[in-house]
A and B are shown apart, each in its own frame.
Chain A
Amino acid sequence: MPEGYKVKIKRSVRFEYHNRNEIQDLITLYFPGMGGKILYGIIISYTFCMMCIQTIELATTFTQAFGVNIYSDVKGLNSIFYWIGGGYTMVVISFYVICILPSLKNITSLQWIGTLMTTVKTFVILCFFVGVFITIGSSETDAGDVSEPVVPEVPAANSTQAEPIKTYIDPEDYEGDFLFNFRYLGYLTANLNMAFLIHYSLPGIVYPLKEQFHAKKLIITPIIISAIFFIFHSLFAIIGFGSVENENCALFPCRIQVMII
């Protein structure tokens, strides 16, 4: 082996992505036949589900902005005519109608949408941190002013109701400090998979690079930063909002926050 051969290997290109959908090339290489079609189906269903999730977020935010509670529409009133004409449904239908015309143009290759969304998300994450700090600071000053210990407010409506709303979760499971329930472990792993689906979009980030030798740094740096953000975000959230309880404990455990409401 000539001298300097090892150095040459180290300096050589170790990552070579030539295609945005690199996984498709690989799967047609190793599993020819049905493999590519199954992958196609999974990618389509995944994108479809993500679109549904984002639409739910958007529609819920809109309905809350206009003061319509979706749960009172869906579960409180049984009349289907009222429900179809409810705020949430109207927002979804009108949004999709608006969507039809702009989506007909092929906009998948536009770069500025990704850049804009990344900027907005970074700004919102910074807002999360600043907001938590402000909340922690204000709660400490409030506690300093009041000499009595802070008792979490229990809504009076729940105690006066004769029967709580029947739902699929038994609220009696969550009395006291019992926070661990095996039934919710599926949610944990599903959320974890969703959070780490960033790896799925890595080839799309790496393939436009001219010098792919630096791809390793490009991938590792955001992952480390986001891991630190994950940890500190959860820690500060526990410190800031640990004592907050849901108003309606029948829908979800009292001390665990629902994702969108």
Chain B
Amino acid sequence: MNFLPVTFIGQVVSFYPISNFLPILLKLSSIRNYFLHFIYPEKVRINKIFDLASIGFTFLVLIPAGLIVIFTPDIQDLILLTGGLLGNILLIMIPLMLVRASRLKQQEFYHAIMDEDVNRHISPFKSSLWIYLLWLYSLGSLVLTFWTLFT
């Protein structure tokens, strides 16, 4: 809204969120596909428009989404939950756990299967310090998120 006095640019910046139309469609479609894949993992789905399961899952996604959007018009609270909780897990915690698990298996793998002493894929951030720092940030962010949410 700060840009509104500026001609043309003000209008472009203010009405830019309307272009979210296509990403919302994409996300709706992908969530439905995730659900379908989760429930029927082996079934190959034909790209058919009037499929009862597709329509059902679309409504199953849209009705809670509509309720959430209507009852929480404050965007910052949703961003707090998405970024602080889900984003935190997806971006930091799961990769950290994967790194830990892969490093445990690494030595065994290179000696037994590859028969190599040099790990070609070794990271420049191989020190454990980075992992501990990231765990610290991640857990701190989680605590702060819940603290902000409940105070």
Footprint of B on A, CB under 8 Å? 9, 12, 14, 23, 26-27, 30-31, 39-40, 42-62, 64-65, 70-71, 74, 88-89, 92-93, 96, 99-100, 102-108, 113, 116-117, 120, 123-124, 127-128, 130-131, 134-135, 138, 183-187, 189-194, 196-197, 199-200, 240-241, 244, 257-261
Tell yes or no: B128 within 8 A of A by CB: no
Inter-chain contacts of A134 with B (CB < 8 A): 6, 9
Complex CA–CA separation, A70 to B69 (angstroms): 12
Complex CA–CA separation, A116 to B69 (angstroms): 26
Tell me if A46 and B90 are in contact (CB < 8 A): yes
Q: State the Cβ distance, A110 to closest chain B Cβ, in Å.
A: 8
Inter-chain contacts of B79 with A (CB < 8 A): 53, 187, 190-191, 194, 259
Seed contacts A31-B101, A53-B75, A103-B28; 13 additional CB < 8 Å A-B pairs: A43-B34, A49-B82, A53-B82, A54-B20, A71-B73, A92-B69, A104-B55, A107-B29, A127-B12, A131-B6, A186-B146, A240-B2, A257-B2
- Which of these, B30, B51, B59, contacts A108 with CB under 8 Å? B30
Inter-chain contacts of B92 with A (CB < 8 A): 193
Q: List 17 A-B contacts (CB under 8 A).
A: A9-B118, A55-B20, A58-B17, A60-B17, A92-B69, A96-B62, A96-B65, A100-B59, A105-B49, A120-B19, A127-B13, A131-B6, A135-B6, A183-B148, A190-B79, A193-B88, A193-B92
Closest to A195 in B: B83
Given contacts A47-B30, A100-B58, A127-B9, contact A185 B148 (CB under 8 A): yes
Q: How many chain B residues touch the partner (CB < 8 A)?
A: 87
Instruction: Render B50-85 as a binary contact track against A, CB cut-off 8 A, 1 for contact.
Output: 110011001101101110111011011011111110
Inter-chain contacts of B144 with A (CB < 8 A): 185-186, 189
Complex CA–CA separation, A113 to B70 (angstroms): 27
Tell me if A187 and B70 are in contact (CB < 8 A): no
Complex CA–CA separation, A53 to B74 (angstroms): 9
- Which of these, A102, A187, A194, contacts B87 with CB under 8 Å? A194
Tell me if A124 and B98 are in contact (CB < 8 A): no
Q: State the Cβ distance, B7 to closest chain A Cβ, in Å.
A: 9
Inter-chain contacts of A65 with B (CB < 8 A): 15
- Which of these, A23, A108, A192, A199, contacts B26 with CB under 8 Å? A108
Given contacts A48-B65, A104-B54, contact A57 B20 (CB under 8 A): yes
Tell me if B75 and A47 are in contact (CB < 8 A): no
Inter-chain contacts of B137 with A (CB < 8 A): 189
Tell me if B94 and A39 are in contact (CB < 8 A): yes
Inter-chain contacts of B82 with A (CB < 8 A): 46, 49-50, 53, 190, 194
Complex CA–CA separation, A124 to B141 (angstroms): 30
Inter-chain contacts of B34 with A (CB < 8 A): 40, 43-44, 47
Inter-chain contacts of A89 with B (CB < 8 A): 70
Inter-chain contacts of A59 with B (CB < 8 A): 69
Tell yes or no: B126 within 8 A of A by CB: no
Inter-chain contacts of B140 with A (CB < 8 A): 189
Instruction: Render B8-23 as a binary contact track against A, CB cut-off 8 A, 1 for contact.
Output: 0110111111111111
Complex CA–CA separation, A186 to B12 (angstroms): 31
- Which of these, A46, A124, A192, A260, contacts B86 with CB under 8 Å? A46
Given contacts A53-B79, A131-B9, contact A58 B148 (CB under 8 A): no
Tell me if A61 and B83 are in contact (CB < 8 A): no
Q: State the Cβ distance, B67 to closest chain A Cβ, in Å.
A: 10
Q: State the Cβ distance, B108 to closest chain A Cβ, in Å.
A: 13
